[in-house]
Amino acid sequence: PPSRSSVIIIGAGISGISAAKVLAQNGIEDLVILEASDRIGGRIRKEDFGGVSVELGAGWIAGVGGKEANPVWEFASQVGLRTCFSDYSNARYNIYDRNGKIFPSGVAADSYKKAVDSAIEKLRSLEANHLVGGDVINESSCAPKTPIELAIDFILHDFEMAEVEPISTYVDFGEREFLVADERGYEHLLYKMAEDFLYTSQGKILDTRLKLNKVVRELQHSRNGVIVKTEDGCVYEANYVILSVSIGVLQSNLISFRPPLPRWKTEAIGKCDVMVYTKIFLKFPYKFWPCGPGKEFFIYAHERRGYYTFWQHMENAYPGSNILVVTLTNEESKRVEAQSDEETLAEAMSVLRDMFGPNIPNATNILVPRWWNNRFQRGSYSNYPMISNNKVLQDIKASVGRIFFTGEHTSERFNGYVHGGHLAGIETGKSLLEEMRNEKERKNEDQAFL
């Protein structure tokens, strides 16, 4: 029979590692971490590309410089992670049309203000309708139509919602964002965190309680404990499970529950949207884009919303790397994931030739992450509908018997972010500790009674 541990943590992303660390620090040493992929980090993941280390998942430490300290920023400073300040706000002054002309800053600023005003108006009317129970949303007459309006609408909604809606990350932790530009990757933070409670040697985790390539397929749970089955036929048993897989994975059928999860749970899981966010990296023999102050980000205005709209050069992070990054989201991400990288390269080059003329060199290399088609991710991060009540999140987070849920999608204030995952893991770890203490007390009382 399988040996029984106190806790099994499923998933070794930042939330799973943070939860495990809290448990270990509080004396729960007989824990097992089951991770489906061949590495820790989850959506924090670097890859070598064009001579430098690029982040396929989380790239920024967002929320710095405010009234409250962002624990991820503090930890990064402590371990000396190399970062550089990023200022998105200039992007709106570097908007190119299809003939390579930059929109005059006045036009750009006006369009931007118009888009913010209309987004705020839309939000208000949504809220008003929601309060009276109606769900009719009038598409306002100022819906974006021209390429520049579409581009700004895309930037605003898919990147800068903080301008419209207060977002805790920016309100509480501050408005500054830092790009991680460290050869060891953002994931260095995770290794440093893991080092405190898992046996490591020369930067490698050798602790046998961390089990990689273990794809959990079934959770059998009862009043007495949880039995976990993996794809390779292994069986693990524990008193409790912490499940840290993404909301996309919870929505998929990768893991089956016996008995099935209650209806309130599955309904809540179904209500959270999954955002797909894709950073495509392109390597060039030399740079042909402007690089001075205020030029890190630029925008391409096309009649199709979100079509290779948002660009960044990596010269600030890695001077001389000659790398550009273009970010796609949602439907465009899914479309590009489904086609070959050669097709994507051709599309990106044609967009760049619109902006910078026909004589620019071809990219020599392309990297297209596929977060949507990754069965251990199924998307990039959670996105609660603007008008969803807190109940949905509470239900997604609530434990079911001996199964505890964690992950960025369970963070009330910071879902969608690395610090959200980190704080969620700590919180879940603490609630489980409390439950374990309560269980122990209940047992003692029963014993005394007998």
The piece of 1-9, 156-164, 188-196, 377-385 that touches ligand FAD (CB under 6 A) is 377-385
Q: Which of 321, 421, 427, 432 binds ligand FAD (CB under 6 A)?
A: 421
Between 240 and 371, name the residue whose CB sits nearer to ligand FAD.
371
Q: Under the criterion CB under 6 A, does residue 13 sit at the interface with ligand FAD?
A: yes
The residues, any chain, with a CB within 8 Å of residue 396's CB and separated by 6 or more, are 247, 250, 265, 268, 269, 272, 405, 409, 410
Strand 310-313 relative to strand 323-329, pairing: antiparallel
Interface with ligand FAD (CB under 6 A), residue total: 42
Between 103 and 170, name the residue whose CB sits nearer to ligand FAD.
170
Instruction: Judge contact between 38 and 212, C-beta under 8 A.
Output: yes
Rounded least distance, CB 263 to ligand FAD, Å:
22
Q: Which of 408, 423, 427, 432 binds ligand FAD (CB under 6 A)?
A: 408
Q: Under the criterion CB under 6 A, does residue 248 sit at the interface with ligand FAD?
A: no
Rounded least distance, CB 378 to ligand FAD, Å:
9
Strand 31-34 relative to strand 210-211, pairing: parallel
Q: Under the criterion CB under 6 A, does residue 242 sit at the interface with ligand FAD?
A: no
The piece of 218-226, 239-247, 280-288, 328-336 that touches ligand FAD (CB under 6 A) is 239-247
Interface map 35-74 toward ligand FAD (x if CB under 6 A): xxx----xxx------------xxxx-x------------
| Rounded Cα distance, 446 and 441, in Å | 9
Q: Which of 407, 423, 428, 432 binds ligand FAD (CB under 6 A)?
A: 407
| Rounded Cα distance, 239 and 227, in Å | 9
Q: Under the criterion CB under 6 A, does residue 416 sit at the interface with ligand FAD?
A: yes
The piece of 107-115, 147-155, 188-196, 370-378 that touches ligand FAD (CB under 6 A) is 370-378
Q: Under the criterion CB under 6 A, does residue 325 sit at the interface with ligand FAD?
A: no
Point out which residues pair with 366 in neighbouring strands.
282
In the region spanning residues 276 to 295, those forming contacts with ligand FAD, defined by CB under 6 A, are: 277, 279
Between 15 and 168, name the residue whose CB sits nearer to ligand FAD.
15
Q: Is the dihedral of CA 30, 32, 33, 37 positive or negative?
A: positive
In the region spanning residues 208 to 237, those forming contacts with ligand FAD, defined by CB under 6 A, are: 214-216
Between 112 and 371, name the residue whose CB sits nearer to ligand FAD.
371
Between 322 and 377, name the residue whose CB sits nearer to ligand FAD.
377
Strand 216-221 relative to strand 256-258, pairing: parallel
Interface map 19-38 toward ligand FAD (x if CB under 6 A): ---------------xxxx-
Which CA distances in Å does 69 have to 17, 169, 269, 414, 420? 21, 10, 30, 13, 13
Neighbours of 399 (CB within 10 A): 18
Rounded least distance, CB 50 to ligand FAD, Å:
18
Rounded least distance, CB 15 to ligand FAD, Å:
3
Between 144 and 369, name the residue whose CB sits nearer to ligand FAD.
369
Between 402 and 419, name the residue whose CB sits nearer to ligand FAD.
419
Between 62 and 355, name the residue whose CB sits nearer to ligand FAD.
62
Q: Under the criterion CB under 6 A, does residue 11 sit at the interface with ligand FAD?
A: yes
Between 194 and 216, name the residue whose CB sits nearer to ligand FAD.
216
In the region spanning residues 154 to 213, those forming contacts with ligand FAD, defined by CB under 6 A, are: none
Which residues of this chain interact with ligand FAD, rule CB under 6 A? 10-16, 34-37, 42-44, 57-60, 62, 214-216, 244-246, 249, 254-255, 277, 279, 371, 376-377, 380-381, 407-408, 416-418, 420-421
